[in-house]
Amino acid sequence: MKKEFYSNGKLLLTGEYVVLDGATALAIPTSFGQSLKIESGTFNGIHWRAYDYKNSLWLNCTFSVEGNTIICHQDIPMAYTLMLILQKAKQLNPVFLCGEIHINATTHLDFPNFWGLGTSSTLINNIAQWAEVDAFTLLRESFGGSGYDIAAAQNDSPILYTLNKGQPLVEIVTPTWDFTEHLYFVHLNQKQDSKEGIARYKAISDKQDIHTQVFSDITQELLICKTLERYSAILTKHEQLISKLLKIPTIKKQFFPDYPGLIKSLGAWGGDFILVTGNTETPSYFIEKGYTTVIPYQEMIL
């Protein structure tokens, strides 16, 4: 027995937070992702080993399957979380992990797990493929969220993603941007807690002032824009609207007020990557400020 699965990482260019309320968002799968290999093992149960992007072992744990219950044999928070995902997968497909279980499961990340490109979503999508269950349902039953990251994990092209009455709608698209050499992704040196960000957004009581259709229109307009200037203007408007909605200043206003180009938050505000426009001098600007992870657009996306 040998099975191999792979899922792409993700970045959300538009629609952060408001995608939860039905706004159409634009997401891109990244060239970085996570693999899962399932092989026959020697000992009873599941031996799980997780390796980071440097091929260093960061999680080593074992599980046993007793009846319909999966039991973790290590008191490790990440191992417990993994156990819960496996249990949910088994609830969705009762024949998953039935009979004699002698399994070695190995995961490999292509990116540092603090980058926020989808350590959890790529894992969930890989486990869903292995368990032959719906990944969106498995996400909903475990971590929660809009599901755009699962859609990105499953596709090799940019996508429009919409939640319609709780059901995911995914449309593969091809942006016609011929200025991507002026786009960079910069990591803010901290991992943002998506669950915390979602909870903060859901607690906002006056969201009716900003309608989801506004953001859906912005997404569609961005997709077909032809110039870098228009691209920057569209995303600047998006950033200002989200700032007003969350009642927090933009990342540019907080940290980079002197930067001449666009700075757009991606996903949960306050951490992970930002999108910036610029030129060959752009990496130097951010590196001098201590933000040493600066990745050109063409290297980040598939």
Report the greatest alpha carbon distance in the chain.
62
Tell me the average pLDDT across 177-197. 86
Residues 73 and 61: their CA atoms lie apart, in Å, by 7
Identity at 160, one-letter amino acid code? L
Q: What is residue 274's predicted lDDT score, i.e. its pLDDT?
A: 96
- Residues 32-41 have pLDDT tens digits of 999 999 999 9
Residues 256 and 252: their CA atoms lie apart, in Å, by 5
Q: What is residue 211's predicted lDDT score, i.e. its pLDDT?
A: 79
pLDDT at 54 over 70: yes
What is the 3-state secondary structure of 3-66? EEEEEEEEEECCCCCHHHHCCCEEEEEEEEEEEEEEEECCCCEEEEEEECCCCCEEEEEEEEEE
- Residues 105-132 have pLDDT tens digits of 999 999 999 999 999 999 999 999 999 9
